[in-house]
């Protein structure tokens, strides 16, 4: 076996090539047109460039140690890490989902007064991660002592300080807007942690999947029946039996949401007629899909029902503490005028006219559609709504200036 030092400097050429790919990638016109989104993407670009710097520091450290060819696997590992950085970056900047979906996710964060640096990313399923989390896990796979005398830790701390959450959507569903409300589930993971909801609820349960059920219920209570429809249809398209340690299986998850829809159905006379139809249609859709699992894991389904009964009161109080109304409260207070908003969206949808309405109205109105609405239409509606919000804010600020 050769004892010559391994030429780690060759790996530097790979890192420089990847750095060039990330640094020179041009954002699309639709990404550049919105300053806030452009800033997000450029800041994430900077994090991935810092990530390359971390690996380069590792490479220099191993090179200075005069390591032999026996550490070929380490060199190979470092090269593959660089390729992973590039792939992780392009998950963000080449995401196929309409750029206006950023407005939807930002709306969720703002409504719950939760500050978060986030970007959308294209992946295999709906989930969330962070840039720092990605690199930390990659470095844990390195089967060798970390090199000394480098600036790697400095770059790692910078990434941690400037960290971004990556909210993934299922790549197959980029053009299925009725699944986009599932992004709220990932947002609520942030809210769940930052507002310490687990300690507030003090649920007497030990199952590791409890937070997932709680988050489903909080999300549905805020966004309305469409959240339950989104989860049910997603499970309907990708049926899987048996859950994970961190997630209950489909039957129990849908059963929890059915409890919420069932309560709303019993109170349907309190809602405008159009909202009643949305609730009824949603209950039927979710129930039809859940019926395939009704006899499975009944003990878990009973536990989920118990979680719902314990959570619904504190969840309503949590909304109130944020100055928010649950969908139920929002719909009742809106009365018939809000019902007409839902009807207007439905009629606009049939004509292909984007509607500048609150996302809770927009997406719940889509439940009445017989087919999945065109994703371009929903993206344009989000854009129209966001622009109307900006103009309203400008008018308010102008009026305040005149008064002062």
Lowest pLDDT segment from 50-64, 258-272, 376-390? 50-64
Q: The tokens 């008018």 sit on which residue?
A: 395
Lowest pLDDT segment from 24-38, 128-142, 197-211? 197-211
pLDDT band at 27 (very low <50, low <70, confident <90, very high): very high
Average of per-residue pLDDT across 11-24: 91
DSSP string, 113-171: T----EEEEEESSSEEEEHHHHHHHHHHT--SPPPSSSSHHHHHHHHHHT--EEEEEEG
Has residue 116 got a pLDDT over 80?
A: yes
pLDDT band at 6 (very low <50, low <70, confident <90, very high): low
Torsion of CA 329, 330, 335, 339, to 10 degrees: -130
Count CB atoms within 10 A of the CB of residue 106: 17
pTM for the model stands at 0.90
Average of per-residue pLDDT across 365-392: 89
Name, in order, each residue with C-beta under 8 angstroms of 260's C-beta and a sequence gap of 6 or more.
217, 220, 221, 228, 308, 312
Domain locations along the chain? 9-174, 179-345
Tokens found for residue 245: 């340690």
pLDDT band at 5 (very low <50, low <70, confident <90, very high): low
pLDDT in the model for residue 332: 87
**What percent of the chain is modeled with pLDDT above 90?**
57
Model confidence pLDDT, tens digit, residues 220-276:
999 999 999 999 988 877 666 555 445 677 788 899 999 999 999 998 888 888 899
Hey, CA dihedral for 142, 148, 151, 156, is it positive or negative?
positive
Which H or E run contains 106? helix 101-111
Has residue 365 got a pLDDT over 70?
A: yes
Lowest pLDDT segment from 38-42, 80-84, 85-89, 136-140? 80-84
Max mean pLDDT range (78-92, 303-317, 388-402): 303-317
pLDDT band at 294 (very low <50, low <70, confident <90, very high): confident
At residue 141, φ and ψ (nearest 5 deg) are: -80, -10
Has residue 3 got a pLDDT over 60?
A: no
Please state, in angstroms and rounded to a whole number, the distance separating the CA atoms of residues 256 and 87: 37
Query: Contact 22/48 with Cβ under 8 angstroms?
Result: yes
pLDDT band at 2 (very low <50, low <70, confident <90, very high): very low
Lowest pLDDT segment from 42-46, 59-63, 68-72, 255-259? 68-72
pLDDT band at 344 (very low <50, low <70, confident <90, very high): confident
Three-state DSSP at 5 gives strand
- At residue 92's C-alpha, the angle toward residues 125 and 210, to 5°, is 35
- How many residues can be counted in the chain? 404
Please state, in angstroms and rounded to a whole number, the distance separating the CA atoms of residues 289 and 395: 46
Count CB atoms within 10 A of the CB of residue 133: 14
pLDDT in the model for residue 341: 86
Average pLDDT of the chain is: 88
pLDDT in the model for residue 223: 97
296 or 215, greater pLDDT? 215
Please state, in angstroms and rounded to a whole number, the distance separating the CA atoms of residues 314 and 218: 10
pLDDT in the model for residue 311: 92
Hey, CA dihedral for 376, 378, 383, 384, is it positive or negative?
positive
Lowest pLDDT segment from 35-39, 190-194, 336-340? 336-340
pLDDT in the model for residue 120: 98
């Amino acid at each position: 076996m050769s004892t010559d030092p391994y030429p780690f400097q060759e790996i530097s050429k790979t890192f420089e090539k990847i750095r060039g790919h990330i640094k020179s990638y041009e954002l699309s016109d639709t990404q550049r047109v919105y300053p806030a989104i452009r800033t997000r993407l450029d800041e994430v670009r900077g994090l991935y460039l810092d990530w390359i710097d971390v690996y380069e520091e590792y490479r220099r450290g191993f090179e200075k140690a005069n390591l032999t060819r026996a550490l070929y696997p380490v060199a190979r590992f470092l090269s593959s890490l660089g390729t992973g950085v590039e792939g992780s970056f392009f998950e963000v900047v080449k995401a196929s989902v309409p750029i206006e979906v950023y407005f939807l996710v930002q709306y969720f964060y703002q409504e719950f007064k939760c500050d978060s640096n986030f970007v959308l990313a294209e992946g295999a399923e709906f989930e969330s991660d962070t840039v720092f989390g990605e690199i930390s896990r990659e470095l844990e796979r390195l089967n060798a002592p970390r090199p000394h005398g480098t600036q790697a830790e400095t770059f790692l701390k910078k990434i941690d300080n400037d960290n971004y959450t990556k909210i993934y959507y299922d790549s197959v569903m980029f053009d299925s807007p009725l699944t986009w409300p599932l992004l709220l589930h990932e947002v609520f993971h942030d809210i769940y942690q930052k507002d310490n909801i687990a300690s507030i609820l003090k649920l007497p349960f030990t199952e590791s999947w409890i937070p997932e059920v709680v988050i489903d219920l909080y999300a549905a209570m805020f966004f309305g029946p469409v959240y339950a429809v989104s989860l049910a249809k997603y499970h309907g398209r990708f049926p899987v039996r048996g859950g994970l340690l961190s997630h209950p299986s489909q039957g129990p998850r849908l059963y929890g949401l059915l409890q919420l829809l069932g309560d709303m159905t019993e109170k349907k006379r309190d809602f405008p007629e159009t909202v009643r139809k949305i609730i009824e249609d949603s209950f039927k859709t979710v129930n039809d899909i859940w019926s395939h699992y009704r006899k499975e894991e009944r003990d878990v389904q009973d536990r989920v029902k118990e979680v719902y009964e314990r959570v619904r009161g504190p969840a309503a109080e949590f909304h109130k503490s944020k100055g928010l109304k649950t969908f139920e409260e929002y719909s009742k207070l809106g009365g018939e005028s809000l019902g007409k908003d839902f009807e207007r969206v439905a009629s606009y949808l049939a004509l292909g006219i984007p509607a500048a309405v609150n996302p809770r109205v927009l997406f719940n109105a889509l439940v009445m559609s017989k087919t999945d609405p065109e994703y371009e239409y929903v993206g344009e509606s989000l854009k129209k709504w966001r622009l109307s919000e900006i103009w309203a804010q400008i008018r308010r600020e102008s009026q305040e200036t005149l008064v002062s």
